Structure 1
Amino acid sequence: MLIVLPPSETKSHGGSGAPLDLAELSFPELTPVRRELVDALSTLPVDDALETLKISEKLRGEAESNTRLWTNPTMPAIERYTGVLYDALDAATLEDTSRLAVGSALFGVVRAADPIPHYRLSGGSKLGGRTMKSRWGKLITEALSGEFIVDLRSGTYQTLGKVPGAVTVRVVSGETRQVISHFNKHFKGEFARALALHDAGSVGDVVDIARAAGLDIEFDGGPELTLVTP
């Protein structure tokens, strides 16, 4: 089982790892596109990057950091990404993170231990006039084929490489039955943590693991689960 998490806009800076070496990343079939994107992003003038990335002057440091993608230090991907989902996941307290991966506009998909630098690029960005979806084509889908996938990526990142048959999760309010957005990431983080502690080979296994962890999961026999919040 591989649990594919969504990335986060916020990321930890710094790191103690050597500069980016694409040969060190999982899914080597993604290397050519990764190289093209890193080269394009790192050579994009900072003023142009602010517009391309749709970020304000206050975040100029993010664009400046992109110019050093080949030289900045790295850290494991699971430590690089931060935010609500990653707080709930609390990967630092997991003995084994090998079942975790993260979707990425820049790297396609990386496993938890893959060393990556700080960067700023979203799945909805255009770089060199091309969308991330057009750049990745079918490569991410093909890279993830052959494994049992639990896909927790947001819609934007799923479109970069859809995985037919993957288990997905919809988070709804127990009171209104409406899809929730504010706490969506928190509950997906709890869900991912529960799964990371066990192995699963079917959607039924996933349901059993989640329910044993105290999560309210509705299952109609298909690959889409509904997680009902308190």
Structure 2
Amino acid sequence: MRILLPPSEGKTAPSEGEPLDVSELAFPGLTKTRERLLDVLSRLTFPRALKYLDVGPGLLDEAQRNLTLRDAPAAPAHEIYTGVLYEHLGLGSLPGENVLIASALFGFLRPSDRIPAYRLSMGSTLPRIASLPALWRDPLRRAIPDEGLIVDMRSSSYTAAWKPKQATLVGVRAFVDGKTVSHMVKATRGDVARLLLSSPSTPETPEDVASLVRANGQSVELSGSGRSWSVDINL
């Protein structure tokens, strides 16, 4: 089993530490695309850069970090990403070898990969790069193993960059009174990821995933067939 996590928009910038070394990140086949994006971000001028990054003036300080990403202190990805899902997951206290974190800047990361805090979402449109999902599609297809059971917690913009075709894919959704509530979905996905990573037995099928969540006291419906499934949790 592998778990695919989204990044978080909010990030905690480390105050000290060695800078980014792109050559040490997982999946060396992604290095060329990573380097290209780092170069593009380092050349963005402000305040025009805010339009490219699709953020408001209130996030100017975060966006300006992009200018010095190669020299800024780096830390393990599980310490950089914050937000509701990561608060509920508590990834730093769990084994991370079965976890991949999606990133508009780095493609996919291991939780232990050391990165700086940055500002870039998969929906951004950069100079000479009209679509980040399209830019990443071929490099990710070549680099990321497409096999086994994959529990996918990513949002639609990140699934557009890489969607497995051979693996058995399980999505996780959450509903409150039949409606999707973004905050609750993120919290629930963090709880489910923690449950799966903490389990003494590794899930091997969609039924295993649903059973573990159900055994944790949740109301669960499993739907799908073949290689595409969804675990729906009613809160």
Alignment of 1:132-147 (within 5 A): 132-142=132-142, 143-147=144-148
Q: 1:214 to 1:23 in 2, by over 3 A?
A: farther
Aligned partners of 1:171 and 1:18: how far apart in 2? 39
Structure 1 position 39 matched with structure 2 position 44: no
Q: Which runs of 4+ in 1 moved over 6 A?
A: none
Aligned partners of 1:5 and 1:24: how far apart in 2? 20
Match of residue 212 from structure 1: 215
Aligned partners of 1:4 and 1:16: how far apart in 2? 28
8 Å CA contact retained: 2:65, 2:118? yes
Spell out, residue by residue over 1:20-49, the C-alpha distance to the aligned partner (whole angstroms, 9 max, x if none): 111111111111111111111122123221
What amino acid is the match of 1:140? L
Match of residue 227 from structure 1: 232
Q: 1:52 to 1:99 in 2, by over 3 A?
A: same
What amino acid is the match of 1:120? R
RMSD: 1.7
Q: Is the partner of 2:109 in helix, strand or coil?
A: strand
What amino acid is the match of 2:183? H
Unaligned residue ranges in structure 2 (runs of 5+): none
Match of residue 124 from structure 2: 125
What amino acid is the match of 2:207? G
TM-score by length of 1: 0.91
Shift of 1:105: 0.4
Shift of 1:145: 1.5
Aligned partners of 1:120 and 1:210: how far apart in 2? 33
Structure 1 position 55 matched with structure 2 position 58: no
Q: Is the partner of 1:137 in helix, strand or coil?
A: helix
Unaligned residue ranges in structure 1 (runs of 5+): none
Q: 1:224 to 1:179 in 2, by over 3 A?
A: farther
Q: Is the partner of 2:92 in helix, strand or coil?
A: helix
Match of residue 13 from structure 1: 13
8 Å CA contact retained: 2:220, 2:234? no
Spell out, residue by residue over 1:136-181, the C-alpha distance to the aligned partner (whole angstroms, 9 max, x if none): 12322341423532111001111011123321122222x3x23332
Q: 1:30 to 1:63 in 2, by over 3 A?
A: same
Match of residue 150 from structure 1: 151
Shift of 1:15: 5.0
TM-score by length of 2: 0.89
Aligned partners of 1:80 and 1:144: how far apart in 2? 25
Aligned partners of 1:46 and 1:91: how far apart in 2? 34
The equivalent position to 1:172 in structure 2, one of 158, 175, 182, is: 175
> Could you tell which deviates more after superposition, 195-204 or 110-119?
195-204
Match of residue 66 from structure 2: 66
8 Å CA contact retained: 1:191, 1:215? no
Q: 1:147 to 1:47 in 2, by over 3 A?
A: farther
Provide the aligned length of Structure 1 versus Structure 2.
227
Match of residue 22 from structure 1: 22
Q: Is the partner of 1:9 in helix, strand or coil?
A: coil
Match of residue 2 from structure 1: 2
